[in-house]
Amino acid sequence: MITILLPLIPLYLLTVRLLRFSRINRLHREYAARHGLASSPPLRRERDKAPTRKELPMTPAEAQKILLEGVLLEMPWILPKALEFALFKSNDDMLYTLSTFILEPGVWAKEFEWRPLTPVEEMAWHVFFSEVGRRMGIENIPDELEDLTVWAEEYEKAHMVPEEACRDVASGTTRLLLHNVPRRPRWLIRFGEQVVACLLYDRLREAIMLPPPPRLLKSLVVSSLHFRAFLIRHFFLPRWKATTFLPIHAPAFPKGYVPVSEPSSKSDKGASEKGDGSNNGEKLKPRTHILFYNNEAWYTAIPRGPASLLQSFLLLTGLKRVDQVPGPAYKPEGFRLEECGPTMYEGKGEEEVRRIAERIHGGVLEGPYAVGGVEKGRCPFGL
């Protein structure tokens, strides 16, 4: 058996080498074809200089498609983590917070992923989130990525100083990152907090008033992530299927829900039996469920059948806590955009939120995100 398998190892490694960059190469060829370029843009920066909009023009919609390729397929763990850790740097200055969502993914990919972001991808993050910022009413967003990078660096030097408010934000972010770490024994949480500190650069760590982690631990954490990147680049085939929190392309109504505009002659029994809060046969606004969750199980349907038995087993054995699994406290009936937010504001300002969402979206919301909309429609987060 071994003699049969041994010749397959070089063949597998060669296949990985041939396919590992196939998606990003295709993305660059398609970009070149759309913009009439003689050749594909380079995969790396030239002289470590950020690309300009004149060099790499793209629309916000084009940028979003490029960005999603990276988040969903190329780097589905590191890029979301970069955005989560960007929350450590968030504050009341919306422009600075926006800059972290543009810049941190590139920093994390360069440091911890199997390849850095290409200039096209860097530009996509800049163009997409700059457009989001403009639709939110954020002003004075630098047009060029290099200018934004310089501005953010100068802002941090002037404003990133130790403060209680920074520590409070960091504590909340750390709790979310460590939500699935067991509470017993207690040293696990303390160890997790030190691991988080290992991934923060000194200026940020000092601003949130965290002591430096042990040097050996930091070396182990960083080396582990570098080793992961090495394995992915040389031994793992590309991911072919994306796992998303929400249905992105042409979402449909969850089973058992009907638009409010449906004729009243149709039966309401199906909706009522789904446990969705139907009252006296009243037609409900369609809702959407989270497909999977990392921390708290908000808007996740309560499992049934074998999945329900597995969840009960995990709870009984202590492998999962009640706050780690879907349940009535986490609104398993699903969500609507205008209802999302802190529970203290539940039921308040929904019409205003819907109007703001449609203004940011650039049109009337459709599909399960609308009230009485068509069964399938454009995602409200799509540009």
pTM equals 0.85
Residue 250 and residue 84 in contact, taking contact as beta carbons nearer than 8 Å = no
Between the CA of residue 23 and those of 13, 20, 74, 197, what are the distances in Å?
17, 7, 8, 33
Among the residue ranges 142-146, 199-203, 284-288, the one predicted with the least confidence is: 284-288
Q: Is pLDDT of 245 > 90?
A: no
**pLDDT for 361:** 79
pLDDT of residue 183: 81
- Tell me the mean pLDDT in the region 23-46: 94
Instruction: Report the candidate in 368, 363, 223, 180 with the shortest Cα–Cα distance to residue 286.
Output: 368
In terms of C-beta distances under 8 Å and separation of at least 24 residues, what long-range contacts does 226-233 make, across chains too?
Answer: 226/112, 228/112, 229/112, 229/113, 229/114, 230/114, 232/113, 232/114, 233/20, 233/114, 233/115
Res. 250 pLDDT band, cuts 50 70 90: very low
3-state secondary structure 178-200: CCCCCCCCCHHHHHHHHHHHHCC
Mean pLDDT within 232-237: 96
φ/ψ of 154, rounded to 5, equals: -65, -35
Structure tokens at 185: 């024994």
**pLDDT of 47 strictly over 60:** yes
pLDDT at 175 over 70: yes
Determine how many CB atoms are found less than 10 A away from the CB of residue 372: 12
For residues 337-358, one letter each, b for 16 or more C-beta atoms within 10 angstroms of the residue's C-beta and e for the rest, the string is bbbeeeeeeeeeeeeebbebee
Rounded average pLDDT over 37-42: 93
pLDDT given for residue 248 in this prediction: 61
What's the pLDDT band for 281 if we cut at 50, 70, 90?
A: very low
**What mean pLDDT is reported for the chain?**
84
Residue 301 pLDDT > 50, yes or no?
yes
**What is the phi/psi pair of residue 288, to 5°?**
-125, 145
Q: How far, CA to CA in Å, does 175 sit from each of 117, 132, 183, 190, 192?
A: 29, 27, 11, 11, 10
Closest listed residue to residue 80, CA positions, set 251, 221, 289, 245: 245
Q: What is the pLDDT at residue 271?
A: 36
Q: What is the pLDDT of residues 320-348, one digit of tens each?
A: 888 889 999 898 888 877 778 888 888 88
Q: How many residues does the chain have?
A: 383
The rounded distance, in Å, linking the Cα atoms of 148 and 159 is 16
Query: What share of the chain in percent tops pLDDT 90?
Result: 52
- Alpha carbon 97 to its chain centroid, in Å, reads 16
CB distance 256 to 277 below 8 Å: no
**Which pLDDT score, from 0 to 100, does residue 8 have?**
86
Q: What is the CB neighbour count within 10 angstroms for residue 211?
A: 9
